[in-house]
Amino acid sequence: MKRKSMLWLFAMILVLSAFLAACGGDKASDDKSGDSKGDGKATETEDSGPQQGGTLTYALDAVPEGLFSFAFYGIATDAEIIDFFDEGLIKYDENLEPIPNYAEWETEDNQHFTFKFKEGVKWHNGEELTVNDWVFALETLASPDYDGPRYANVETVEGAPEFREGKADSISGLKVIDDYTIEVTFDAPRLNNLTNLWTYPMPAKEFEGIEVKDMSGSDAVRKNPVGVGPFKVEKIVPGESVELVKNEDYWNGDVNLDKIIVRIIDNSATVGALQNGEVDMVAIQPVSGPEVEKLDNVEIVTAPGLSYYYVGFKLGKFDNKQQKIVEENPKYQDVKLRQAMAHAINRQEWIDAFFFGYGKPINKPVPSAHWISADDSEVTGYDYDPEKAKKLLDEAGYKDVDGDGFREDPKGEKFSVKFSHYATGNPTFESRATALTQYWEEVGLKSELEMVEVNLYYDMIEKDDPSIETFFGGWSTGADPDPTPTWASDQIWNYPRYNNPEADELLKKALSVEEIGDDKDKRKQVYAEWQKIVTDDVPMIFIAELDELYAVSDKVGGFTVDVAGTNNPSEWYKKEGK
Amino acid sequence: MVKYVLRRLLGMIPMLFLVSVVVFFLAKAMPGDSLRGEIDPTNTNPEYIAEMQEKLGYNDPVYVQYWNWVTSFVQGDFGKSTRYKMPVSDLLLEKIPNTVFLALTALIITYILAFAMGMYSGRKPYTIGDNLIAGFNYTGLAIPSFVAGVFAVYFFAFKLHWFPFAGSVDIEVQNGTIDYWMSRIHHVMLPAFILGLFSTASYTQFLRNDLIENSRKDFVRTARAKGTPIGKIYNVHILRNSIIPLVTFLGFDIASLMSGAVITEKIFSYPGIGLLFLDSVNNRDYPTVMAITMMLSALVLVGNLIADILYGVVDPRIRLG
């Protein structure tokens, strides 16, 4: 009896291992078909133009909060859904220049703007969109009870602060001429007044009788959101899926698809769902790239992203009350040390290893897709050059005097680079951070790495915690090119505490209406000068800019994406017979 | 009996109070708050964060925050979720049915499988069938549910197309129709099986061992000597005794299924309490975290109470005192 059961156990193990081996074999065959992907793509080109009808399944890998309104949403996941059913007055072209959507504007002095709305644009509830809906939105944002983060987009309109403090019943800078015309006056002429302004109307009728403080929890936001976009929200299963149907009355041409189903799926299921055709489109992380590339029925569409990764040096301390940098940290003040550390990093190798090539080294504090981005020839680049790094360190006096293989500081004391990186559940973070410290060790700088829990991490950086010396971070830029919030010396988000009056001066100059006016080339020139100064000073080592990745099924046509985002979903279509 | 239940219920109050203190202070000790995390300079400004921190009371000392929370909690006001910006009670009501549905299905699957397999193994121990079942069970016990879940998605959803890989219902079917419920059941089967896998394994083994043990007892020999059919001996005499340990599990299961659902719901993107809980912890949504923790703690305590009461019902020899 005993022996028999042992036999069975053994048999079970065998069966199980055969099972596992089968999985492994499957992966291998996937690999093979991935290689022949090139020819496969070439043959399936009988694309006879846009077709009507069909359902597209769009996946999200994070759970939306359910705040389906431009005015209230907090996370990008919700915005992805809102983009299907609502639009703003203006949109941005591939150079991130504002262009009219359903409203045109005129201005002579960058302070007074006249907006003219298109007639006949209808909300999904049948009401016509008028300037009053926009005024309603702006007044909601400026209300003291508003619990979203967007007051800053109204603040610069004349009279908004008074309205918020309750001193006025309406915002004095908004003057309604008729249902389709409105004059907006800002408190000062600025070049970025328009890009900073809130341009998303709210359906006033839907929110009738709802107090501002209750709006974010109301059904008009959570259950029956209404917009003017190409699709209408038909049904929402909270935290799981959203059904959107074609808007027959769409103001901007015909909508090809009948339906878009937005599904929330777990990261681990993305590749399988794409392969099975259960998901037609999903924005993916570079990490999933190699696996998705192997699928024959899915293509990866990339667009240049607007974010960049950097390694920052804490150069000083910021006093939040005085809004200025009050102290200098001595450790990394020597610019040659910072330059050497920049030259030591092989960015291309690092990007290939951790982002699978979906990105490229960046040489300046502005993503290269942005129109103010300076040409690489105009800034000081720091290519991988360990010899130069060593030379710079020698020149700066960082030499190995005690023969332990690592350099000491100019005074002959032990020197060690302390590098911090945020930690989440992502296991690649620690290895990519370790890789950076190894580059420094190769040029003789002793380095130690500290992984800090992500929530605590940014708090520590913001408060200039002394344990943060050099740190990994990322910033993203919006349509408004002004880098002031993350770079001026009086801003809390200037994390390196970079303090160069000359650079601050240029940032101010670029925004000044008197000096620059509407001259874009001139403005770009000023920003290029600024970028040159920043790259000379290296308050941070610019590491990489990453692509935005979309995995798109071969059943989907009409999809394009550029730096300003995807094209209008009304142009997407499902290919016949697929 | 009534006195006993009342005494137990009263005893829960200090327990829950202690749980709330510990969880609240631990939650607050987590670095960051609901306004932190990834900062996006394009749509957040420091004044907004400072203002919201003041509004949400994050600047008060922790004990003041606790006092504020606990006073409104006992009055039935669970607060407003900082992430979803809606009352936590509404949020829970939205998710609880999903989780209860999942847990109940898991329980039913567990019972059916465990009874069938346990009875078989217990009656025919050390046979090929018993060993196969034991092999299956030990595999179930050994594989953590997050691994089993991912494998199940891969095989049953992607390879065999038997079940959907995510969600709780197909959005395109009309609410309330037969199709709707079929779709719900179709969606819940796979996660429920994974969720019940662990308890199925332990139930089966317990039942089996108990059956074997009981079948060697004197009363079984007596019954046999009397000439009672063997089937009746198992189904009536032995099973009744062997169910006792299982019944105790039922009480614990109510809580463990609810909390075990955290991982399973995440893998299957099943929108229930578990997924909400994970999300709330990651986003420092304190009111939601607290409400769910309190609910789960209360469930554990109530589950234990139910187990104790059921003991008495199944086996009158056990008196409640």
pLDDT in tens, A503-515: 999 988 888 777 7
Q: Tell me what pLDDT residue B8 has.
A: 86
pLDDT > 60? residue A425: yes
CB B271 to CB A240 under 8 A? yes
Question: Could you tell me which residues come within 8 angstroms of residue A396 by beta carbon, excluding any fewer than 6 positions away?
Answer: A334, A336, A337, A340, A410
Contacts of B45 in chain A (CB under 8 A): 149, 152, 485
Q: What are phi and psi of A125, to 5 degrees?
A: -85, 5
pLDDT tens sequence across B139-195:
888 888 888 888 888 888 888 888 888 888 887 788 778 888 888 889 998 999 888
Residue type, A240: E
The pair of structure tokens assigned to A162 is 């008074």
Cβ proximity of A84 and A225 under 8 Å? no
Contact B108, B115 (CB under 8 A): no
Residue predicted with more confidence, A569 or A217: A569
CA distance A422 to B79: 31
Instruction: Give pLDDT, residue A188.
Output: 87
pLDDT of residue B50: 72
Confidence of residue A176 (pLDDT cuts 50, 70, 90): very high
In a domain, B234, yes or no: yes
- Mean per-residue pLDDT of chain B: 83
Question: Domain for residue B210, yes or no?
Answer: yes
The more confidently predicted of residues A237 and B313 is A237
CATH number at residue B112: 1.10.3720.10
B35 band by pLDDT with thresholds 50, 70 and 90: low
B57 in the same domain as B146: no
Burial (CB < 10 A; 0-12, 13-18, 19+), residue A58, is buried
User: Token pair 């290029």 is at which residue?
Assistant: A528
Banded pLDDT at A48 (limits 50, 70, 90): low
Cβ of B85 under 8 Å from any chain A Cβ? yes
pLDDT class for A182, splitting at 50, 70, 90?
very high
My answer on whether B53 and B94 are in the same domain is no
Q: Could you count the other beta carbons within 10 Å of the beta carbon of residue B235?
A: 12
pLDDT at A491 over 80: yes
Residue B106 tokens read as: 């898991």
Of the pLDDT bands very low, low, confident and very high (cuts 50, 70, 90), residue A46 is: very low
Query: Which of the pair, A447 or A40, is modelled with greater confidence?
Result: A447
What's the pLDDT score for residue A341?
93
User: Residue B228: how many CA atoms within 13 Å on its side-chain side?
Assistant: 16
Average pLDDT score over residue span A134-154: 88
- According to the model, what pLDDT value does residue A311 have? 93
Q: Do residues A500 and A457 touch, judged by C-beta distance below 8 A? A: no
Instruction: Please spell the DSSP secondary structure of B292-318, one letter per residue.
Output: HHHHHHHHHHHHHHHHHHHHHHH-TTS
The helix-helix angle for B239-267 and B88-123 (nearest 10°) equals 130
What is the pLDDT at residue B316? 72
H/E segment holding residue A545: strand A540-553
Kindly tell me if the per-residue pLDDT of A42 is higher than 50. Answer: no
Amino acid at A199: T
CATH of domain A306-546: 3.10.105.10
Q: Are residues B73 and B95 in the same domain?
A: no
Amino acid symbol at A442: E
The amino acid sitting at A511 is: L
pLDDT at position A129:
92
The predicted structure's pLDDT at residue A50:
80
The residue-averaged pLDDT of A269-289 equals 87
- Look at residue A535 in the predicted model and tell me its pLDDT: 92
What average pLDDT does this structure show over B82-110?
Answer: 87
Distance CA A357, CA A352 (A): 4
> Is A476 in Cβ contact with B52 (below 8 Å)?
no
User: Inter-axis angle of helices A335-343 and A386-396, to 10 degrees?
Assistant: 160
Single residue among B45, B77, B109 that ends a domain in this structure: B77
pTM beyond 0.90, yes or no? no
Q: Is residue B115 part of a domain?
A: yes
A143 pLDDT more than 70: yes
Coil, helix or strand for A319?
Answer: strand
Residues above pLDDT 90, as percent of chain A: 34
Residue B320's pLDDT is 57
Q: Indicate the average pLDDT of chain A.
A: 84
Q: B213 pLDDT band (50/70/90 cuts)?
A: confident
Of the pLDDT bands very low, low, confident and very high (cuts 50, 70, 90), residue A140 is: very high
H or E stretch covering B142: helix B128-142
Q: Is residue B59 domain-shared with residue B189, that is, in the same domain?
A: no
State the pLDDT confidence band at A436, using cuts at 50, 70 and 90: very high
Query: Does B8 map to a domain?
Result: no
Predicted confidence band of residue B317 (pLDDT cuts 50, 70, 90): confident
Q: d(Cα A339, Cα A534) in Å, to the nearest integer?
A: 12
Helix axes B62-74, B286-314, angle to 10 degrees: 50
CATH of domain A51-86+229-280+555-577: 3.40.190.10
Residues 157-186 of B with CB under 8 A from A: 157-158, 161, 165-169, 171-172
Q: How far is B264 from chain A (nearest CA, A)?
A: 11
* Structural domain count of chain B: 2
Of A273-277, A422-426, A439-443, B206-210, the poorest mean pLDDT is in A422-426
Residue in chain A closest to B273 (alpha carbons) equals A239
Lowest mean per-residue pLDDT among A140-144, A435-439, A472-476, B105-109:
A472-476
The predicted complex's ipTM stands at 0.72
d(CA B157, CA A272): 9
pLDDT of residue A28: 34
- Tell me, yes or no, whether B67 and B98 share the same domain: no
A239 and B275: CB-CB below 8 Å? yes
Predicted confidence (pLDDT) at residue A25 exceeds the cutoff of 70:
no
Residue B41 has pLDDT above 60, yes or no: no
Alpha-carbon distance of A266 to A278, in angstroms, equals: 13
- Residue A456 and residue B169: Cβ atoms within 8 Å? no
Percent of chain B with pLDDT over 90: 5
Interchain CB distance below 8 Å, B41 and A485: yes
* Structural contact between residues A482 and A511, judged by C-beta atoms closer than 8 angstroms: yes
Is B128's CB within 8 Å of A8's CB? Answer: yes
Is residue A31 predicted with pLDDT exceeding 60? no
Query: How far lies A14's CA from each of A11, B23, B142, in Å?
Result: 5, 46, 17
Judge: A74–B172 Cβ closer than 8 Å, yes or no.
no
For residue B47, give its domain range. 31-77
Instruction: Please check whether residue B321 lies inside any domain of the structure.
Output: no
* Shortest alpha-carbon distance between residue A213 and chain B (Å): 10
Q: How far apart are CA A248 and CA A231, in angstroms?
A: 9
Just give the CATH number of A88-218: 3.90.76.10
B243 touches chain A (CB under 8 A): no
A17 pLDDT more than 70: no
Q: What residues contact A26, with CB distance under 8 A and at least 6 apart?
A: none
Left if phi > 0, otherwise alpha if psi is -120 to 50, otherwise beta: which for A529? alpha
Neighboring chain A residues of B271 at a CB cutoff of 8 Å: 63, 237-240, 264
Provide the 10 A C-beta neighbour count for residue A565. Answer: 16
Q: Distance from A494 to chain B by nearest Cα, in Å?
A: 10
Residue among B145, B153, B267, B252 at smallest CA distance from B194: B145
Which chain A residues are closer than 8 Å to B33 by Cβ?
455
Test B85 with A72 for CB contact under 8 angstroms. Answer: yes
Q: Is the pLDDT of residue A40 over 60?
A: no
Higher pLDDT, A136 or B234: A136
Q: Is residue B111 part of a domain?
A: yes
CA atoms within 13 A on the CB side of B155: 11
Q: Which of B31, B40, B86 sits opposite A459 (nearest CB)?
A: B31
Q: What pLDDT was estimated at residue A86?
A: 93
Q: HSE of A83 in the Cβ direction (CA atoms, 13 Å)?
A: 15
Residue B268 lies in a domain: yes
Indicate the residue of B31, B48, B85 with minimum beta-carbon distance to A151: B48
Identify from A215, A455, A476 which residue to disrupt to test chain B contact, counting B C-beta atoms within 10 A and taking the largest count: A455
Q: Does the distance separating the beta carbons of A222 and B37 come in below 8 Å?
A: no
B207 and B64 in a common domain: no
Residue B283: closest C-alpha in chain A: A455
Whole-angstrom distance, CA of residue A425 vs CA of residue A513:
47
A-B interface: how many C-beta pairs under 8 angstroms?
A: 148
pLDDT of residue A38: 36
Position A400 confidence tier, pLDDT thresholds 50, 70, 90: confident
Query: What pLDDT band is residue B36 in, cutting at 50, 70 and 90?
Result: low
Predicted local distance difference test score (pLDDT) of residue A577: 58
Q: Please, how many CA atoms are within 13 Å of residue A226, restricted to the half-sphere of its CB?
A: 19
Domain boundaries, chain A: 51-86+229-280+555-577, 88-218, 306-546
